[in-house]
């Protein structure tokens, strides 16, 4: 019969704790370059956005339209318009081109975002949930909206999940980094 001494049990416990700590560190992924570049690119429309479309001298066409889950805007006369992934200027041109095909001579279309798609804040915050995005928002602002940190929260940085060019990426960022509409922010628990 093999007996394990106090010193060996302590060594085994320390080894297991160190292994667990290293395993949690191995999941760390700094934000990729494309992640940061997305914050300086023109805004791209996606599901959940609500757009204010103005067609000058056409009161019946000027209205607020939502981008549906499939990424389309249902627009009078021309039907469904693909909006997902397009900039505001690209979408203006697309709607104007479609209206020019037999409906209006020289349509002048202007679009502005009436309401951005939501952000989500999860993890060690007071009130995890869905919140309204505001241009210029930082991770710290989003955490404040979600009731601030819990006593167990790691406050130096957060994990942000973002859709870039149709690909979902997650990276660890400082709380001073900007947030984009549609981002999911996860505040981790500190180890000690």
Give the model confidence (pLDDT) of 86-99 as tens digits.
999 999 999 999 99
Answer CATH for 50-115 from 3.40.50.1240, 3.40.640.10, 3.30.1950.10, 3.30.465.10: 3.30.1950.10
Q: Is the pLDDT of residue 29 over 80?
A: no
β-strand partners of 184: 120, 161
Please state, in angstroms and rounded to a whole number, the distance separating the CA atoms of residues 32 and 44. 19
pLDDT at 20: 46
Q: What is the pTM (predicted TM-score) of this model?
A: 0.79
Q: Where are the domains of the chain?
A: 28-41+117-187, 50-115
Dihedral angle computed from the Cα positions of residues 146, 132, 167 and 156, in that order, rounded to the nearest 10 degrees: -30
Q: Is the pLDDT of residue 1 over 70?
A: no
Cβ count within 10 A of residue 49? 24
Record the tokens describing residue 157, joined without a space.
């940085």
Return the CATH class of domain 28-41+117-187.
alpha beta
pLDDT average, residue stretch 40-66: 96
Strands 109-115 and 50-55: antiparallel
Q: In the chain, where do the E strands start and end?
A: 50-55, 63-66, 72-75, 79-82, 109-115, 119-123, 129-131, 157-164, 167-174, 184-187
Q: Is the pLDDT of residue 3 over 60?
A: no
pLDDT at 7: 61
């Amino acid at each position: 019969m093999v007996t394990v001494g106090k010193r060996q049990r302590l060594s085994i416990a320390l080894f297991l704790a160190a292994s667990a700590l290293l395993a949690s560190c191995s999941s760390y992924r700094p934000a990729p370059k494309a992640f940061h570049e997305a914050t300086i690119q023109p805004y791209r429309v996606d599901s959940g956005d609500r757009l204010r479309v103005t067609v000058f001298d056409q009161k019946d066409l000027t209205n607020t339209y939502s981008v549906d889950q499939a990424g389309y805007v249902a627009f009078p006369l021309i039907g469904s318009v693909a909006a997902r992934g397009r900039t505001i200027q690209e979408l203006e041109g697309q709607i104007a081109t479609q209206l020019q095909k037999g409906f209006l001579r020289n349509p002048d279309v202007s679009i502005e975002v009436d309401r951005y798609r939501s952000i989500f804040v999860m993890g060690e915050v007071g009130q995890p949930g869905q919140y309204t995005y505001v241009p210029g928002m930082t991770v710290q602002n989003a955490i404040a909206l979600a009731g601030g940190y819990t006593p167990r929260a790691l406050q130096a940085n957060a994990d942000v999940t973002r859709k870039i060019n149709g690909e979902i990426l997650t990276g660890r960022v400082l709380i001073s980094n900007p947030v984009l509409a549609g981002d999911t922010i996860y505040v981790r628990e500190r180890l000690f």
